Amino acid sequence: QPGKALLILCIAFFPRLAAAQQNPVFPGWYADPEGIVYGNRFWIYPTYSARYEEQVFFDAFSSPDLVNWTKHPRIIDTAEVKWAKRAMWAPGVLEKDGKYYFFFAANDVHEGEIGGIGVAVADKPEGPFKDLLGKPLINEIVNGAQPIDQFVFKDKDGTYYMYYGGWRHCNIVKLNDDFTGLVPFDDGEIYKEVTPEGYVEGPFMFIREGKYYFMWSEGGWGGPDYKVAYAIADSPFGPFKRIATVLEQDPEIATGAGHHSVIQIPGKDQWYIVYHRRPLGKTGANERVTCVDEMHFDENGYILPVKMTHT
């Protein structure tokens, strides 16, 4: 029976949602969360939100239902990434051909350090991850974009692009097959700037019903007005015309809500935004917790403002 087979497939391979969702989803100061589904589990890869000098490792979290989370401590640290002496943050993981590629930012090129966007690889989503290159994949400032906050996106035709950039500038680059380098675009350019109005950092891209949804963070990352906005385009290159704010502080719930990612429940038009925010009464820049809330669309495909839940 095809119906029964599909049900068994869904139960075996897709994660199930539990009713009693809570925020923050796991304890501790964790920011810049990238959420993704691998097999029958949800995964979140966040920044360990502390002073730079303490941001020397990454933990990951996995869950069968978005409620019960298992911590996978120290999936990679600066002892493995020799060039990342000072700090590592804003990770993201991508599966390709049975390998898991872990992208992250490290150090601060602005202060003359070797730094930028690095990549590591593992056989499992929980690592252990090994530095792939022994140096950053991108360590230069191009078009004014700080080389941080990368998001790797697989386009409909299988091409892998990376959006990245802090300091109010966002670039897109094309990655080679094994993620060891960049490939020039047809016009010979390697970096293209795609910065939308209001952009600060934290780019994210997904496709829904054939349209490209580009999202980013605005405001000051240490401040209460941090927020998420978006654009819709017909191509991964834009143009990205700002449409609206999706997520922002709520005086009854939390401030500083941003640097997000988006999870789609496989096979369903059901979406979640994964983001960090600052609990009420907290003002420290690194006092950030990881939260998940539902994200809905209207009948024209526009994203409705997200209602943050729980305190």
Window 165-204: residues binding ligand FUB (CB under 6 A)? 166, 201-202
In contact, 99 and 125? CB cutoff 8 Å: no
Residue in the shown chain whose Cβ atom is closest to ligand FUB: 259
Residue of 59, 149, 201, 248 with catalytic role = 201
Name 247's bridge partners: 228
Nearer to ligand FUB, 29 or 43 (CB): 29
Give the span between the Cα atoms of 45 and 31, in whole angstroms: 9
Nearer to ligand FUB, 32 or 293 (CB): 32
DSSP 299: T
CB neighbour list of residue 263: distance below 8 Å, 6 or more residues apart: 35, 36, 37, 42, 271, 272, 274, 292
Alpha helices, H only, 160-205 = none
Under the binding rule (CB under 6 A), the answer on residue 116 touching ligand FUB is: no
Among 148, 172, 292, 303, binds ligand FUB (CB under 6 A): 148
Under the binding rule (CB under 6 A), the answer on residue 278 touching ligand FUB is: no
Name 289's bridge partners: 277
Window 242-261: residues binding ligand FUB (CB under 6 A)? 259
Under the binding rule (CB under 6 A), the answer on residue 149 touching ligand FUB is: yes
Strand 192-193 relative to strand 201-208, pairing: unpaired
Nearer to ligand FUB, 227 or 259 (CB): 259
Window 78-97: residues binding ligand FUB (CB under 6 A)? 89-90
Among 23, 47, 150, 261, binds ligand FUB (CB under 6 A): 47
Under the binding rule (CB under 6 A), the answer on residue 59 touching ligand FUB is: no
What is the distance in angstroms between the CA of the first residue and the CA of the last residue of the chain?
A: 45
201 is catalytic: yes
Window 117-146: residues binding ligand FUB (CB under 6 A)? none
Name the site residues for ligand FUB (rule: CB under 6 A). 31-32, 47, 89-90, 148-149, 166, 201-202, 217, 221, 259
Catalytic residue ranges: 32, 201
